[in-house]
Amino acid sequence: MQDQFPETGADIDPDIIESREWRESLDYVLRHAGPTRVRELIAELQIHARSQGVRLPFAENTPYINTIPPDKQPPYPGSHELEQRVRNIIRWNAMVMVVRANIKDKTLGGHIATYASVCNLYEVAFNHFFRGAGDGYDGDQIYFQPHSSPGVYARAYLEGRLTENHLNNFRQELRPGGGLSSYPHPWLMPDFWSFPTASMGLSAIMAIYQARFNRYLEDRSLKEGNIRNVWAFLGDGETDEPEALGAITLAAREKLDNLIFVVNCNLQRLDGPVRGNGKIIQELEAAFHGAGWHVIKVVWGSGWDPLLAQDHEGLLAKRMTEIVDGQYQKYTVSDGQYQRDHFFGTHPKLMEMSKLLTDEHVRTIRRGGHDTDKIYTAYKAAVEHQGAPTVILAKTIKGYGMGEWGEGKNTAHQQKVIGEEGLRHLRTRFSIPLSDEEIKEAPFYRPPEDSPEIEYIKERRAALGGFIPSRQIVNPGLPKPINEEPFTELMTGTEGREVSTTMVFVRMLSKLLRDPDIGKLIVPIVPDEARTFGMDALFRQCGIYSHAGQLYEPVDKDTLIYYKEAQDGQILEEGITEAGSISSMIAAGTAYSTHGVNTIPFFIFYSMFGFQRVGDLAWAAGDMRARGFLLGGTSG
């Protein structure tokens, strides 16, 4: 063995040398032929290995590091200093909002820790990506993480859209002067929120079908395309809900590159770790990657870049990957020496690498979801990506910035009251210019109107088209009064003939679809029961919507009522999914507000078991002030 590796010495493991040579070869190809050739070679090697009987493990995971390397990061376009000051003020006001409410009434509740973890993810988007309605653009559609609502209110307070009285009435909507709803509720705040997200998991499926409905309107020439993005901010624990991941293959199949999921991976649920003995980011990466999404992982902050640059043997990346989430939570509440000993102490080379860092640096080194440069890089890649939806998996800390009053602790979600000592500590940490005497009252803080902070956030929102969230109530109405002709035949009766109510409805719908004024606005939605309801005659009359058109010759093409898919098709044939169907109904039923197009959805479900599967989404439809028809068709 020494003769085979004479230049390395007897104490060097030949496997290490061999691995290094393979990496150097790959680096050479990458430099001279580019990433496409690297992918081709890896694919060829996999095929060759399998042909030789090597069983390769199925892997939809990449290493537990950032997807986008530092040398691919674009320069940050904003002011780091000003944005940090703005974030600190918003964090303070969001926290004080909940604290003041619970000092007043301990039964009011509220949440501090979620916004603390998602703050940077929001603020980079508010300052550089969320587009408002203006200049021929309808504005991005955003599903906010529900427990983070205090932070959204706190930003609107700085923008001058909400008053201190509103903040004082958090979770007290009926108090004089107006209050703020617990979570995003369009019914309670119809000029502010557009999408209700309080019921865990529903925002994901609603966002997918909203993005698809946006394409539907464009393909049917009911709306001009304007590259409107749909953003959904989800919690990692929320993805346990079946609705959260149940429709992700549809988004990839429909190539919804107007859709961006941002999963706030703070690793914690209400009671404890999301995956204490596993890794939620790796799990979600596999699910989304396997479904066909563009996956971007934002795991580590910039402080890790110099260490990873020295990780020529992959020891650091390997160590990052093998540690489970429960242990990462432990690091959050541990001092630098513990983290150094436990994380780096497993290998002499890792321990040597750690000498570049002080204990304080080890303790405070940031996760990717709190690093604005990393977040901006991920968002820019997401909005520019074409051909597939994007999911950003951002690692954060629940209660980030709260210190011993909740940061990284299993009790963080329930933290609602912080005493005077804690307020003084957080006042200092966030650099809020309040005296110890003022702190006793837990006051809100808003800089003067002409301060750099207020001017900056207003300038950024003006540049991006206006304030968000903001619900635009366009309500265009119908083109003209409905012609009574489609109903005349039905009102005269059937002259003794027995006719099912479902058949009568289908007859009426067929006539309405032919109406020259409102016919194009009707959106029939069926969960794979059109033939059961006698609606198959509409296949050829209206076509079944498919953004790709029809890439095959249907087996029944020679029949009168063949299965006709078309890019401008009118029927939304959703397959066996009542939840997906009513999500389409919600998107169509709120288009009067979100698009200024008064589409009229008819969701026809199978009476025997259709409705009980969508009760929560029916509630969401009501909260969004959706307009349309839900009909139970024939059962049996």
295 and 275 assigned to the same domain: yes
Dist. CA 98–CA 413, nearest whole Å: 12
**What is the maximal distance between C-alpha atoms in the chain?**
102
The answer to whether the beta carbons of residues 398 and 113 sit under 8 Å apart is: yes
What mean pLDDT is predicted for residues 624-635?
86
- With 0-12 / 13-18 / 19 or more C-beta atoms within 10 angstroms meaning exposed / middle / buried, residue 212 is buried
Is 532 within the bounds of a domain?
A: yes
358 and 373 assigned to the same domain: no
End-of-domain residue from the set 14, 29, 59: 59
341 and 422 assigned to the same domain: no
336 and 214 assigned to the same domain: no
Q: Provide the pLDDT for residue 1.
A: 33
496 and 540 assigned to the same domain: yes
Q: What is the pLDDT of residues 3-52, one digit of tens each?
A: 333 444 456 788 888 888 888 899 999 999 988 899 899 888 888 888 88
- Residue-number span of the structural domain to which 612 is assigned: 485-633
Nearest to 198 by CA among 174, 209, 182: 182
297 and 422 assigned to the same domain: yes
Please tell me which residue, 461 or 135, carries the higher pLDDT value: 461
Residue 206 in this model has a pLDDT that exceeds 70 = yes
List the CATH number of the domain containing 389.
Answer: 3.40.50.970
286 and 421 assigned to the same domain: yes
572-575 long-range Cβ contacts below 8 angstroms, 24+ apart:
572/216, 572/523, 572/524, 572/525, 572/526, 572/544, 572/545, 573/526, 573/528, 573/530, 573/544, 573/545, 574/525, 574/526, 574/527, 574/528, 575/527, 575/528
443 and 497 assigned to the same domain: no
Contacts of 43 by beta carbon, 8 Å cutoff, 6+ apart: none
Q: How confident is the model at residue 507 (pLDDT cuts 50, 70, 90)?
A: confident
Is 65 within the bounds of a domain?
A: no
144 and 226 assigned to the same domain: yes
Is 426 within the bounds of a domain?
A: yes
Q: Provide the pLDDT for residue 588.
A: 97
566, β-bridge pairs:
545
End-of-domain residue from the set 346, 365, 384: 365
End-of-domain residue from the set 365, 381, 398: 365
Please give the helix or strand (H or E) that residue 630 lies within, else none.
strand 629-633
Amino acid at residue number 287: A
Q: How many domains does the chain have?
A: 4
Dist. CA 284–CA 290, nearest whole Å: 10
Dist. CA 68–CA 32, nearest whole Å: 20
Q: Provide the pLDDT for residue 304.
A: 93
405 and 553 assigned to the same domain: no
Q: What is the pLDDT of residues 379-417, one digit of tens each?
A: 999 999 999 999 999 999 988 887 777 776 666 666 677
Is 581 within the bounds of a domain?
A: yes
Is 552 within the bounds of a domain?
A: yes
Q: Provide the pLDDT for residue 2.
A: 37
Q: Provide the pLDDT for residue 214.
A: 96
Residues in the chain: 636
* pTM of the entire predicted model: 0.90
The answer to whether the beta carbons of residues 545 and 216 sit under 8 Å apart is: yes
Sheet holding 259-265, edge to edge: 141-143, 230-235, 259-265, 390-395, 294-298
The answer to whether the beta carbons of residues 544 and 563 sit under 8 Å apart is: yes
Cis geometry, peptide bond prior to residue 469 (ω within 30 degrees of 0): yes
Q: How confident is the model at residue 157 (pLDDT cuts 50, 70, 90)?
A: very high
Number of C-alpha atoms within 13 angstroms, CB side, residue 226?
16
Place of tokens 């150094």: 340
Is 470 within the bounds of a domain?
A: no
- With 0-12 / 13-18 / 19 or more C-beta atoms within 10 angstroms meaning exposed / middle / buried, residue 397 is buried
389 and 522 assigned to the same domain: no
169 and 116 assigned to the same domain: yes
Q: Provide the pLDDT for residue 239.
A: 95
Is 394 within the bounds of a domain?
A: yes
Place of tokens 């000592």: 421
Is 472 within the bounds of a domain?
A: no
Q: What is the pLDDT of residues 123-144, one digit of tens each?
A: 999 999 999 987 778 899 999 9
